[in-house]
Chains A and B, each alone.
Chain A
Amino acid sequence: MQPYLDDGSLRVIGVVQEQHAARARLYAQWRQLDWPIYVDSLNLLDHRVVPIPMLLDASGIIRARPRSPDALAELMQQSFPVEAPPVGLKLPDATELRTQAEALDSARAWRDLGDACFLTGGLDAAVAAFEQASLRDPSDARARFRAGVALKRRSESEQAQPGDAQAAIDSWAQALQLVPNQYIWRRRVQQYGPRLNKPYNFYFWIDEARQAIRARGDAPVVLQVEPEGSEIATPQKAVQVVALDDPDPEGRVDRDASRVHIETLVTPARLRPGHAVRVRLTFEPGAAWWNNEAEGLCVAGTLPPGVELLELRALTAAPAAAETRERRLWELELRISPDQPAGPLEIPLYVLYDVCEDQQGVCLRLRQDVQLQLEIDAAAASIE
């Protein structure tokens, strides 16, 4: 195909379905993709699956979906009637779209506003607009998916609000329930979901990419959000139940209310009986310091009947220094019994950890209770 590219009779562009643009940049750098690539995080093109190669004629008419170099070569020999190409689309002005949304008050108008706000970096405005769209039309699956994209991006930004990451997962799961054969959306939930539901490790290529790029003498693109935990976990097909410790069954260890902030991310929070759930626990020590010379962090509890623990592991290793204050991550995977009745299911866990008030200050072993809230529903979206 190189002759067609060299003589200007063929151009190549890409559209990548990816939540994190930097990951697409790293992929393109690794594969040495030197053509223009656009990042469709919101799935504005409405593709349900990838990959999809398309050959467009000079005026933008889709002429074929070539699946091989030979098929493309054959198409390059054909001539197609030339129609007037479309006038270049411009991103609508967000102020005008807001006026329109307030006047029409339709889901579509609010969703259009959300799209424009997201593309211009207005995450708060985008989240708000997508929420308005969902309120106007609860069956607007695109609005729910795009709300999830905006919430997830905000959760990883300086504008993050508590609960953003969970709200993103919930929005994606709602969108998937409305359109269960949308595989682009399904992947987004699976990315953070249980290993039992993973078709494969989505970001297995990142280490290989970095090694190959460095071997070429280049510096790999830096990822602002490093894939971790479930994102790089390998699928697990065989169920192995592991035990959960319960070293403080009577709750005698002093509770911590303020030293360590714990955020939970449950994927999915609404699930069918017999399905699995992945839980990420993020620990931010705030003003306190981890005491690395003590017993260490421990996730514990007594699981209710019908709930099995399949995996429990720390994603961050304790550092060598005696006192540190890094963010720590743990993940656990639970499976719910097929016989679990529909309705809310609370799973009480607790965490024991050792923190110091200050460097060289008073050190304590403390407990914080963590209540996981699930909703068991036979009609919930399946992410298998």
Chain B
Amino acid sequence: MFPRLLACVLLCLPGVLADEGMEVGQRHPDFVLPDLAGELGGLSEHLGQKLLLFNFASW
């Protein structure tokens, strides 16, 4: 699973790996966003165990 995920997110934007903003040790801000079906949902629905959160793009 993980290699496929990494392939998706690490290969989709070659050369750009840096990040700014949310730091390790901080609470990730909750959010309300539409999912792929257009239904609104958020981060807090998925907490309760460890969570791998991928921020990515298709381009």
Contact = CB atoms under 8 A, between A and B. Distances in A.
Given A51-B54, A54-B52, A33 B8 contact: yes
A8 B3 CA distance: 19
Nearest to A57: B50
Interface string A1-30: 110110011111111111001011111100
A45 B31 contact: yes
B21 to A, nearest CB: 6
Tier of interface size on chain A: 35 or more
Given A46-B21, A48-B20, A85-B44, A39 B33 contact: yes
B34 A62 contact: no
Contact of B27 (A17, A23, A59, A64): A59
B16 A24 contact: no
Contacts of A199: 15
A265 B8 CA distance: 32
A60 B50 CA distance: 8
Given A24-B36, A60-B43, A55 B20 contact: no
A36 B55 CA distance: 12
A57 B48 CA distance: 8
Contacts of B49: 8-11, 58
Contacts of B52: 10-13, 53-56, 66, 72
Interface string B23-58: 111111111111110101111111111111111111
Given A58-B47, A62-B22, A49 B27 contact: no
Nearest to B21: A46
Contacts of A54: 22, 28, 52-55
Given A5-B1, A44-B33, A89-B30, A65 B16 contact: no
A103 interface: no
Contacts of B48: 58, 85
A87 B5 CA distance: 29
Contacts of B40: 91, 119
A51 B43 contact: no
B1 A53 contact: no
Given A10-B50, A51-B10, A21 B59 contact: no
Contacts of A203: 58-59
B58 A205 contact: yes
Given A16-B58, A31-B8, A49 B18 contact: yes
13 contacts: A10-B52, A26-B58, A32-B4, A36-B41, A38-B41, A45-B31, A53-B53, A61-B26, A61-B27, A62-B23, A69-B2, A119-B33, A200-B14
- A-B CB proximity, top 10 nearest: A51-B9, A202-B59, A27-B58, A38-B33, A89-B30, A1-B2, A88-B44, A52-B55, A69-B2, A56-B51
Interface of A: 1-2, 4-5, 8-18, 21, 23-28, 31-33, 36-40, 44-66, 68-69, 72, 75-76, 85-91, 119, 183-184, 187, 191, 199-200, 202-203, 205
